[in-house]
Structure 1
């Protein structure tokens, strides 16, 4: 096992990998409860969506561990599942059947896999300027911290100021503040498993405060009826779902839009996690990126096939990397837990967003350390980095933030008359972003 996963070679231990896997799992376990609810809005039976969510995450997370040997966990993506529920399905959206929506996801994943096999996805990553690469990881750090603060109720929406401070005396905020205090103090004292401890203790603290919801039942029956969704019959058109997609221009536009989102979300997430898990070189290049991209692309297609929405790499993987995960062994731990909790989802539901707040905030802090490596003295390289860092959390989208950075970089270089410094694939990516911003 040590030789297969290169545990000693990467200066890790089995204990570190287990703790890292547990930390990542708890940080992203909310998806077990959230995704089936979102998919049920789209029309998928809840038990079927739960089964698909858990087994899809389990299979692809373990696949990433075995084939890429990197601590990158995967599960159904938040954002894309919302697009499925509210933009593709439902009376207020296009109103397509959920099987057709899954066919859109499936086709998008297949196209991304083709791009990876052709080498285009890696080539675009290599074409990104160094400062923008560094900025992506920093922006994701702020994004992750923002997710934590928002989930903990410390930051709330406000019509007048957009965002404002939440009620710090509320039960939700108290649990979040305990989580932050524990995570910061334990991390400062270099306690092994600091983030995991903060999540578990905060979950316990939330019980008497009513934030942690105790399970009323311990299991669900497995339901595989959503599997092979793209190849099931669409009851609205009485044709195979995927045929409905390839013959409908509006649905093909959704395929393109989701492809852009998946393409660059993963790119940003991998760069962010790689920086914390020590598999990025001094130029910001991710080591052994090809197998990572292949597994992630296959996961998008598999998510559509399973009826789980697009399965993608999770930014919360940074929590496990900070906790010590360096190899794919942590993925095996995560994958096994996802499979087990297909039967015990209510137990995972006990881990509330406020309980994970501390772990995510500390991860955000740690990912900010790369800000000093950006050359801020030259606006032509610094401004694209700045707009990327700002854009990711403020638009609540890794893809949009990266798009802002790409477009601004190209515009500045053109204005300077330095067109020759723009790599061809940066032009391709920038044009694609421009089309996405205009038409999506």
Structure 2
């Protein structure tokens, strides 16, 4: 049955590898189960209800991505989008969280419409080869930056923005150990190297008393405080149109960048340079976004951490389905899932960053009109802390340098359209 649904042999994989990849992906993104509720609780939302909504929205997105699109890409409420929800829409603009949820719901409906009419598919397939390479490498750098932050190796600094942290601190030492262990195990041919390293660091955290044992099983909190609490009347105000558009815009290009990056690393790109079944994959996060808003959480999107599962062999939707099952189990094993600290996954993310940057060897560095946009994307993703911003500025750079270098014919209509949209966003939003 699994072979018929996911075509495992065709993709050169098996059930064991796919399940292992799913568990690995889940462990690298499990932090969202706790970060998302904490952040949204700042708006006044019930933290326990958001925890349940986060798990259920992620499960729905992963199941659609796995069963319908057959992609090894996991879904969950996205970082960046939840920050925009909390700090811009609610705390910044003064709207209630109920209005913000309704705006997320409407943006999800817009996602679905754009996916059905293949507008999103057209946009993603129109990304030039150089930019695709830059997007994949940029996501790798973004993951590395997140890993360095989560482990305390890099910290903020008022003068220089970032600065080296305390390298002798327990999180920094454990993250480094996890990274070294991952590289060593991979080199020795251990297929479960990433998972082994994550679990080993977690066990050491418990042994040294840094992680408190919090039990194993607990009943899920009630979802009633956030379920169906959207304020549609408030979200239909003229002033909220820009908010809905912003949710749509950011999620569109976060998803585009993640799908391109993960699909490239999983070698799912066809001979024509396009992503097969892309429209189905796009329907996964758009549907999950609307469902998540009904349940009580911000936009659900494709997670860049999916690359960690791809790195251990994940190639089909069974990986995503496994992640969805893990999110469902997390509802009942919340204390156990919460014991995996950020520094335990930092080494794995840094290892994945190395893999994703390997594609830079294919860039024609002698052609500045190809190299410049790649560098812009790679640098600005981590420095702006946004995949979408990095992609947008990369598109604008690509169009500008091609025209000014006398290669305007290399810029197709879709690139012009996308560049214009990003310029409009920068100017008016």
Q: TM-score, normalised by structure 1?
A: 0.93
Q: Distance in 2 between matches of 1:150 and 1:186?
A: 24
State yes or no: 1:245 paired with 2:247.
no
Checking the alignment, whether the CA contact within 8 Å between 2:132 and 2:261 is kept in structure 1 is no
Following superposition, the deviation at residue 99 of structure 1 comes to 1.2
State yes or no: 1:350 paired with 2:339.
yes
State yes or no: 1:381 paired with 2:370.
yes
Q: How many residues align?
A: 427
Q: Distance in 2 between matches of 1:68 and 1:13?
A: 18
Following superposition, the deviation at residue 413 of structure 1 comes to 2.5
Q: Distance in 1 between matches of 2:153 and 2:183?
A: 16
Q: Distance in 2 between matches of 1:75 and 1:100?
A: 21
Name the residue aligned to 2:137: 138
What does 1:356-395 correspond to in 2, within 5 Å?
A: 356-395=345-384
Cα 1:265–1:244 shift into 2, 3 Å: same
Name the residue aligned to 2:214: 215
Q: Distance in 2 between matches of 1:321 and 1:260?
A: 27
Following superposition, the deviation at residue 38 of structure 1 comes to 1.4
Checking the alignment, whether the CA contact within 8 Å between 1:302 and 1:310 is kept in structure 2 is no
Q: Distance in 2 between matches of 1:11 and 1:23?
A: 19
Checking the alignment, whether the CA contact within 8 Å between 1:211 and 1:352 is kept in structure 2 is no
Cα 1:44–1:413 shift into 2, 3 Å: same
Worse-matched range after superposition: 18-27 or 94-103: 94-103
Name the residue aligned to 1:233: none
SS at match of 1:229: coil
Q: Distance in 1 between matches of 2:96 and 2:163?
A: 39
1:307-342 Cα offsets, whole Å, 9 max, x none, are 111111000000000011111112222111111111
Q: Distance in 2 between matches of 1:282 and 1:382?
A: 23
Name the residue aligned to 1:66: 67
CA RMSD of aligned residues (A): 1.6
Following superposition, the deviation at residue 344 of structure 1 comes to 2.2
Q: Distance in 1 between matches of 2:62 and 2:327?
A: 9
Name the residue aligned to 1:201: 200
State yes or no: 1:300 paired with 2:299.
no
1:149-174 Cα offsets, whole Å, 9 max, x none, are 11111111122222222211111111
Name the residue aligned to 1:237: none
SS at match of 1:346: helix
Name the residue aligned to 1:238: none
Name the residue aligned to 1:89: 90
Q: Which runs of 4+ in 1 moved over 6 A?
A: none
SS at match of 2:73: coil
What does 1:28-107 correspond to in 2, within 5 Å?
A: 28-90=29-91, 93-107=92-106
State yes or no: 1:411 paired with 2:390.
no
1:372-407 Cα offsets, whole Å, 9 max, x none, are 111111111221111111111111111111111111
Q: Distance in 2 between matches of 1:272 and 1:289?
A: 13
1:276-333 Cα offsets, whole Å, 9 max, x none, are 2120135642222111111122122222222111111000000000011111112222
Q: Distance in 1 between matches of 2:192 and 2:353?
A: 17
Q: Distance in 1 between matches of 2:80 and 2:243?
A: 13
Q: TM-score, normalised by structure 2?
A: 0.96
Q: Distance in 2 between matches of 1:220 and 1:99?
A: 26
Name the residue aligned to 1:319: 308
Unaligned runs of 5+ in 2: none
Cα 1:84–1:220 shift into 2, 3 Å: farther
1:434 to 409, 423, 426: 423
SS at match of 2:422: helix
